[in-house]
Structure 1
Amino acid sequence: MSERSERIRNLLKLREFLKKRIDRLEKELIRLRQMMESLDEVLLEQTLVTADQLRPSLTTATPQKEDIEEREIVSEDGTPLGIVRINKSVGFLVFVPSEDVTIDARERPISSFLIRKVEEYGGRCEVEEFPDGRLKALRVKFEGVPQELERMFRLLRWAVTKSVVQ
């Protein structure tokens, strides 16, 4: 029995060690995610592209001003909802809502329809939200023909107009 007791004691020590190690790693992961969020915020302010979406060729060449088109999205009653910046040369759309408009990032038009449709067409959709669920920014990356980028814009416009909080 003493050999079994010793084995159980060793297993309990191992379990306690693993538990402490997991706690340390989880805390480190939280810190790393916070640093990544801060970095993404700075990159969003500076480039409107997060680091994981930059391609090596894009880091050396900055997009020309004429490559980026800005379009305003308005509601049915004419209220400005936000600005979409479209970079056709790299197939990228970024929507930033107007400050005085509340758009729910968790509404189905964005959280399920838009993301699903973008992925069906071979794109990627990233929704950035504030802690209370308001939309902070919406990014669509799509590598395809410009007509498909127009389709992505129409999908984004529809989802945003349907997700406005009255």
Structure 2
Amino acid sequence: MQISAKADYAVRALVELAADSARPLTCEGIASAQDIPFRFLKSVFRDLRQAGLVRSQRGCEGGYWIGRDPAAISVAEVMTAVDGEFLTLRGARPDSLVYPGAARRLPDLWRAVEAAAQSVLGRTTIAELAAEGAAGTEGAVAAESAEGAEDMEDVASRSTGPGSSVRDVSPAVPV
């Protein structure tokens, strides 16, 4: 699974905004703090603003604020706001895939991967990431990643249970 630069930058920008919500932050300041290309970040902010995840103010005292309570914004929501569909295969949603013959069960695996990723990223909030970053605790993120790996194994094993023709390849699927 590949996470786009746009999604990565969007999450990082929102975490930066959530960590310092007392004042508006400029796009230049966020780009510098997060080592993100400024021009790219401006286009990311356009998508975030359209999704209501940030709000802006013009002028010398202007900048960006987080648009909603960061505890109510999941990483999955941010990714969908900037990239569109959460997961696609060659432009198609996993739930619309149908393969013939021996590969007929493969779409079940893709749906399991999507469900597991959606589970982990859907329950991880911008507020949690900002708090962990501010506290310098990487242990909580590592624990969440471990839970996500277990979720991936659980979902994959359900789609590869008795009578299934799909092998359990969950250990080879990175989180």
With the length of structure 1 as denominator, give the TM-score of the two structures: 0.27
With the length of structure 2 as denominator, give the TM-score of the two structures: 0.26
Structure of higher RCO (CA pairs closer than 8 Å, 6+ residues apart): 2
The structure in which a higher percent of residues are helix is 2
The structure in which a higher percent of residues are strand is 1
